[in-house]
Amino acid sequence: MHVMIFGCGYSGSAIATAFSGPGARIAGTTRSPEKAALLRNEGIEAFLFDGETPSEELRAEMKGVTHLVQSIAPGKPGDPLIRLFGADLGAAMPKLEWIGYLSTVGVYGDHKGAWVDEDTSLHPVSARSVERVEAEEAWLAAGERLGIPVAVLRLAGIYGPGRNAFCNIEKGTARRLIKKDQVFNRIRVEDIAAAARFLAGQKRGGVFNVTDDEPGPPQDVIAEAAFLMGVAPPPEQPFETAELSPMARSFYGENKRVSNRRLRAAGYNFAYPNYHMSLAELWSSGRWRG
């Protein structure tokens, strides 16, 4: 197995760990020479890639790739790999057997707190979610053209070691914003990685929500983390009067409960199905700092 992860960041590094093992060659791209050095220290063959110009070394590496994970966010015009390779994707990676595309549950848009699943119609609100829908469609079409299974993983809010409510409380950046009836799903980064490995192992394509079982108010997550730390939670703030960046405010413009039934039906068992047990594990293990 020869795995290439385009955009080997927080989720990509976890995916690399999930795919690693005897007989596996793991490669990944990053924009930063410093990050490339860190990836190499983790046993990942690292290549610099700015999303525009693949080096000759990267092109040569792609020739042997059997499993592709695309984690680079789309932009204008469209997904960077589709833009660069398009109809030549098969020639660029002639040994390709499976593709995983990391998307977002933001493609569903706002459903006023109702449950959604993979068959729910898409009504993306933000420009970045519109771009994700276009990228999903482009990758599914590429897979159809090449006869290769493409799994689209729609991810909820990502957290895990080094990126969680405990870290935010410690840094003093945690906020308990109160917006009536607002809920979010979330997902541990290890479950993203394990789900990708599971789907690749089955050579399974299709669209899958990768999210926990328990959508809940974001302020409750902060309060639970504070309780586990034995500290007072930050004060509640009304969402309407809080000072927020446009991007942060846009997240609260979408309210939905996202079902993971399709992934469970495929046979995947979540290691961290809800934030209660996940936060407890992060705290008790001491891994919350990363």
Q: What is the CATH number of the domain that holds 41?
A: 3.40.50.720
Tens digit of pLDDT for each residue in 106-154?
999 999 999 999 999 999 988 899 999 999 999 999 999 999 999 999 9
- Give the range of the structural domain holding residue 192, as residue numbers without chain letter: 2-157+186-210
Flag whether 269 is in a domain: no
pTM for this entry: 0.96
Q: Are residues 93 and 57 in the same domain?
A: yes
Flag whether 45 is in a domain: yes
pLDDT at 28: 98
Q: Are residues 201 and 72 in the same domain?
A: yes
Q: Are residues 70 and 150 in the same domain?
A: yes
Residues 6+ apart with CB under 8 A from 258: 105, 108, 115, 116, 117, 154, 156, 185, 209, 211, 215
Q: Are residues 202 and 241 in the same domain?
A: no
| Cα-based distances in Å from 34 to 6, 41, 47, 51, 251 | 16, 11, 11, 17, 31
pLDDT at 248 over 90: no
Q: What residue type is 210 in one-letter code?
A: V
Flag whether 140 is in a domain: yes
Q: Answer yes or no: are the C-beta atoms of 70 and 79 closer than 8 Å.
A: yes
Flag whether 170 is in a domain: yes
Q: Are residues 205 and 232 in the same domain?
A: no
Domain count for the chain = 2
Flag whether 34 is in a domain: yes
Flag whether 30 is in a domain: yes
Q: What residue type is 128 in one-letter code?
A: R
Average pLDDT, the chain: 96
pLDDT at 288 over 90: yes
d(CA 85, CA 107): 24
Tens digit of pLDDT for each residue in 141-169?
999 999 999 999 999 999 999 999 999 99
Flag whether 33 is in a domain: yes
Tens digit of pLDDT for each residue in 181-216?
999 999 999 999 999 999 999 999 999 999 999 999
Q: Are residues 113 and 222 in the same domain?
A: no
